[in-house]
């Protein structure tokens, strides 16, 4: 084999290798894209004027195993500006965190949620993130959200009857969205609110029927999940 043919053969091998390398993480896979719009008006009307804390996770409906897709920094790192912890912020996700990390403690600076899923709290407007799963696999998606200081008549900062103060400034309780779907390309899902999350509920259950909730149902004024075909990448920057 002369030098020209050897060079051509080597280039072909390199190109094929690059193509196979690019497809290594996408073969038999689909991406689940979460797209959420945070209501700017509600954020501005809240006492603290800060975007909501929220978490997204997937649950295998067969095994019950849960995996966090995304959680905002305050909840994921336990960064509550002077408070050691705020258990009422995202009570349901905190249970997921404890299971994932085999701990009884809430996230904190010493043991935060994984950097792979923790991100800065998004400003009002559109937020998107993705998770890669096997094509055709079935999932339950959970999304929990809480906007601090979104008080109303039912959840005031100070209750004139009980003389109780909202210790953590949480306002209306965290709301829970849920959706069950199959990861088939082109599928579009709209998660629905299935209840509110109450830490330390008297019956032991975290998810309760909505009670006294007003504006909190519009913290996310647009929310959707789309199953899409992942794009092959030489460098995995998903």
Q: What is the pLDDT of residues 19-53, one digit of tens each?
A: 444 445 557 899 999 999 999 999 999 999 999 99
- With respect to residue 3, please indicate whether it lies within any of the assigned structural domains: no
Once rounded to an integer, what is the mean pLDDT over residues 133-149?
96
| ∠ Cα 108 109 113 (to 5°) | 60
- With respect to residue 8, please indicate whether it lies within any of the assigned structural domains: no
- With respect to residue 237, please indicate whether it lies within any of the assigned structural domains: no
- With respect to residue 97, please indicate whether it lies within any of the assigned structural domains: yes
Model confidence, pTM: 0.85
| ∠ Cα 94 100 104 (to 5°) | 55
Confidence of residue 165 (pLDDT cuts 50, 70, 90): confident
Total domains in the chain come to 1
- With respect to residue 23, please indicate whether it lies within any of the assigned structural domains: no
- With respect to residue 14, please indicate whether it lies within any of the assigned structural domains: no
The range of the structural domain enclosing residue 203 comes to: 32-228
- With respect to residue 9, please indicate whether it lies within any of the assigned structural domains: no
Euclidean distance between CA atoms 54 and 189, whole angstroms: 19
Confidence of residue 115 (pLDDT cuts 50, 70, 90): confident
Question: Residues with Cβ < 8 Å from 7, sequence gap 6 or more?
Answer: none
- With respect to residue 67, please indicate whether it lies within any of the assigned structural domains: yes
């Amino acid at each position: 084999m002369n030098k020209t043919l050897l060079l051509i053969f080597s280039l072909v091998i390199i190109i094929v290798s690059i193509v196979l390398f690019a497809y290594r993480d996408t073969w038999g896979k689909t991406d689940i894209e979460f797209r959420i719009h945070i209501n700017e008006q509600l954020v501005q009307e809240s006492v603290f004027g800060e975007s909501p804390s929220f978490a997204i996770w997937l649950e295998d409906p067969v095994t019950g195993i849960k995996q966090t897709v995304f959680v905002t920094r305050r909840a994921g790192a336990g960064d509550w500006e002077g408070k050691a912890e705020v258990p009422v912020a995202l009570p349901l996700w905190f249970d997921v965190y404890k299971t994932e990390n085999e701990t009884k403690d809430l996230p904190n600076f010493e043991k935060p949620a994984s950097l792979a899923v923790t991100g800065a709290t998004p400003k009002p407007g559109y937020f998107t993130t993705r998770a890669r799963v096997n094509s055709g696999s079935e999932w339950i998606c959970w999304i929990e959200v809480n906007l601090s200081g979104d008080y109303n008549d039912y959840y005031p900062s100070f209750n004139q009857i009980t003389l109780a103060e909202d210790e953590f400034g949480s306002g209306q309780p965290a709301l829970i969205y849920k959706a069950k779907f199959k990861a088939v390309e082109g599928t579009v899902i709209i998660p629905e609110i299935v209840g509110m999350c109450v830490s330390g509920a008297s019956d032991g259950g975290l998810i309760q029927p909505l009670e006294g909730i007003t504006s909190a149902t519009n913290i996310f004024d647009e929310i959707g999940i789309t199953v899409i075909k992942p794009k092959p990448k030489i460098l995995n920057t998903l």
